[in-house]
Structure 1
Amino acid sequence: MRIKALGDATGVDVETIRYYEKTGLLQAPARSHNGYRDYGAAHLERLSFIRHCRALDMPLSDIRRLLDFVDDPQRHGDDVDRLVEAQLARVQARLDSMHALERQLVELRSRCQGRHADGACGILDELVAAAHGEACACHPVPAKQGV
């Protein structure tokens, strides 16, 4: 199959497929007599694997290691478990960060509910204060330690 068909079958952009080939994640396909790339079932399977790992937000370096384990299943040991544990830790850290962001936005939103008939807006006031380096509702100045 040609690159566009491979992309359609996997949901991966053609330029991304070319990038994966260039970086060695995806083996370069044979060329047909007219010079077009000719992808087979193995490319489809490998690209689908990569796509699934990317959907889990795994970095390409980890995907490369997982592919090495797929290519040589005898050598994986506990490495696969460690890769997944590390990814889970990254996801949990991002979730914590997103929850903190949510709290900051809720606090900011609470500064200004409804219409602004008098032209004053608590949200804008807070954002302007932050732009001046002052504490704001979403980023209070931390208490100094040891003082």
Structure 2
Amino acid sequence: MKIGELAKQVGFTVETIRYYEKEGLLHPALRDPANNYRRYDHSHLERLIFIRRCRTLAMTHEEIQVLLQARVQPNASCETINELIDEHIHHVQARIAELQILETQLIELRGQCRAAHTTRDCGILRELDHPTEELTEPAVVHSHVPGSQCRGGQHK
């Protein structure tokens, strides 16, 4: 099948499929000698469905690569897979905690302006003009995405 057909079946864009090929998550398709179009088979579809499921679970490309490698070693121990998922759970729990702190801060900020005023008298704007210690010295939280970190909930 052509890339457009594959994209439609799996619910990805053509660009995403090309990106996954470039990144090594999807093995390259053979080219049709008649027109040089990429030709995808059922194995590509199955792999993309697997990748899509992993992405819905917020897994990184590195994590997906580990899982894809494990799929081709059916007699190997699944200990690495269990550890990967345990670590991913830990990162999700940490992110939830960060988001709960953010929610509390936003609720407190919203409490600074309980009624409509002129922007000159808006308690939210007045509060944002005076940074708190948290805003001037954000805590660094390490993300499970290699090479990135979180500062006050924003990835750098």
| TM-score bin, normalised by smaller chain | 0.7 to 0.9
Partner SS state of residue 28, structure 1:
coil
What's the counterpart of residue 74 of structure 2? 73
Higher strand share: 2
* Alpha-carbon distance in structure 1 between the residues aligned to 2:23 and 2:118: 58
Sequence identity percentage: 42
Paired residue type of 1:120: D
Q: Are 1:120 and 2:121 matched, yes or no?
A: yes
| Paired positions, count | 136
Please report the TM-score for the alignment, with normalisation by the length of structure 1.
Answer: 0.85
The offset of 1:139, in angstroms, is 5.5
Say if 1:108 and 1:40 are closer, same or farther in 2 by CA, change over 3 A.
same
* Alpha-carbon distance in structure 1 between the residues aligned to 2:129 and 2:136: 14
Q: Are 1:6 and 2:1 matched, yes or no?
A: no
Partner SS state of residue 94, structure 2:
helix
Please report the TM-score for the alignment, with normalisation by the length of structure 2.
Answer: 0.81
Paired residue type of 2:20: Y
Partner SS state of residue 36, structure 2:
coil
Structure 2 unaligned blocks of 5 or more: 138-156
What's the counterpart of residue 27 of structure 1? 27
* Alpha-carbon distance in structure 2 between the residues aligned to 1:118 and 1:21: 51
What's the counterpart of residue 109 of structure 1? 110
Structure 1 unaligned blocks of 5 or more: 142-147
Over 6 Å off, 4+ runs = none
Partner SS state of residue 129, structure 1:
coil
Larger C-alpha radius of gyration, 1 or 2? 1
The offset of 1:117, in angstroms, is 5.1
The offset of 1:29, in angstroms, is 1.1
